[in-house]
């Protein structure tokens, strides 16, 4: 089962666990992922024609759960967008910010791959083995380019909680020796919590 110790991800799990989904007399425990399937009730009816099947177990996003949209732009400073008071008019970003949350204490690594993997996991980029961009990975700890199985992407946590997930555009979190169709596919977007992906795996088109 997938467990996480990252503060950001624990916070997300905490929010979701406050919105349990009832299944008969039982409730879904969202503090452990994948969500464990509840014990089905004992059926004592001997005549199959009269036996009633229990409700089908299905994990869905809790009622009232918010939509989650993460937008990451390369090579743009914190204060450049008009959504944060900058000179570059970005009306769509302003509308999203007005209807959502503004965060002002996220620290980039000044590189795309490490920043992206830190944002999408809530972990330090060295914990994710992304000390540099994927093409500069080495065998040194913290820079292997191989995201550990112990690191849970936010998208995977959302998917396991019943969200539909998708990623679009530049991904650049897959080491270059894993981008061919022969795989392995463990660090491809569709194996990192995203149901669908439309974009390019590497850092260049």
User: pLDDT tens across 64-102, in order?
Assistant: 999 999 888 888 888 899 999 999 999 999 998 998 888
Q: Domain check: are 137 and 90 in the same one?
A: no
User: pLDDT tens across 26-38, in order?
Assistant: 578 888 889 988 8
Would you name the residues annotated as active-site residues?
112, 172
User: pLDDT tens across 109-165, in order?
Assistant: 889 999 999 999 999 999 999 999 999 999 999 999 999 999 999 999 999 999 999
What does the pLDDT read at residue 22? 42
Q: Domain check: are 111 and 189 in the same one?
A: yes
Backbone dihedral region for residue 8 (phi beyond 0: left; psi -120 to 50: alpha; all else: beta): alpha
Q: Domain check: are 81 and 156 in the same one?
A: no
Tell me the CA distances in angstroms from 27 to 6, 16, 17, 34, 39, one per residue in order: 25, 13, 10, 14, 11
Three-state secondary-structure class, residue 83: helix
Q: Domain check: are 127 and 190 in the same one?
A: yes
Q: Domain check: are 113 and 195 in the same one?
A: yes
Q: Domain check: are 193 and 115 in the same one?
A: yes
- Asked if residue 33 is part of any domain, the answer here is no
- Tell me how far apart the alpha carbons of residues 37 and 68 are, in angstroms, rounded to a whole number: 25
Show the domain range for 144: 107-200
Q: Domain check: are 95 and 114 in the same one?
A: no
**Helix segments in the chain, DSSP class H:** 7-17, 91-99, 112-119, 154-160
* Structural domain ending residue among the three candidates 105, 120, 151: 105
- Asked if residue 136 is part of any domain, the answer here is yes
Q: Domain check: are 169 and 183 in the same one?
A: yes
Q: Domain check: are 123 and 181 in the same one?
A: yes
What does the pLDDT read at residue 25? 38
- Asked if residue 54 is part of any domain, the answer here is no
What does the pLDDT read at residue 105? 83
The answer to whether 1 touches 150, Cβ cutoff 8 Å, is no
User: pLDDT tens across 18-28, in order?
Assistant: 344 444 435 78
What does the pLDDT read at residue 71? 87
Candidates 16, 1, 4; CA nearest to 153 is: 4
- Asked if residue 47 is part of any domain, the answer here is no
* Structural domain ending residue among the three candidates 105, 123, 141: 105
Predicted confidence band at 205 (pLDDT cuts at 50, 70, 90)?
A: low
Q: How many helices (H) and strands (E) does the chain have?
A: 4, 4
For residue 161, count CB atoms less than 10 angstroms from its CB and return exposed for 0-12, middle for 13-18, buried for 19 or more. buried
State the pTM of this model.
Answer: 0.79
Predicted confidence band at 46 (pLDDT cuts at 50, 70, 90)?
A: very high
Q: Domain check: are 169 and 124 in the same one?
A: yes
Structural domains counted in the chain: 2
Q: Domain check: are 111 and 196 in the same one?
A: yes
- Tell me how far apart the alpha carbons of residues 118 and 124 are, in angstroms, rounded to a whole number: 6
């Amino acid at each position: 089962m997938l467990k996480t110790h990252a503060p950001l991800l624990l916070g997300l799990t905490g929010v979701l666990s406050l919105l349990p989904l009832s299944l008969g007399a039982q409730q879904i425990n969202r503090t452990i992922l994948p969500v464990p399937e509840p014990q089905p009730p004992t059926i004592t009816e001997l005549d199959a024609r009269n036996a009633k099947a229990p409700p089908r177990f299905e994990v869905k996003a809790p009622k009232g759960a918010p939509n989650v949209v993460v937008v990451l732009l390369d090579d743009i400073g914190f204060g450049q967008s008009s959504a944060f008071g900058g000179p570059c008019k970005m009306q769509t970003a302003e509308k999203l910010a007005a209807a959502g949350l503004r965060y002002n204490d996220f620290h980039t690594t000044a590189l795309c791959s490490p920043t992206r993997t830190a944002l999408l996991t809530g972990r330090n980029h060295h914990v994710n083995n992304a000390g540099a961009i994927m093409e500069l990975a080495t065998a040194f700890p913290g820079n292997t380019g191989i995201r550990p199985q112990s690191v849970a992407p936010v998208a995977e946590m959302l998917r396991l909680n019943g969200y539909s997930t998708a990623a679009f555009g530049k991904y650049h979190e897959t080491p270059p020796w894993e981008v061919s169709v022969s795989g392995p596919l463990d660090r491809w977007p569709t194996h990192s919590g995203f149901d669908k992906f439309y974009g390019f795996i590497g850092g260049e088109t």
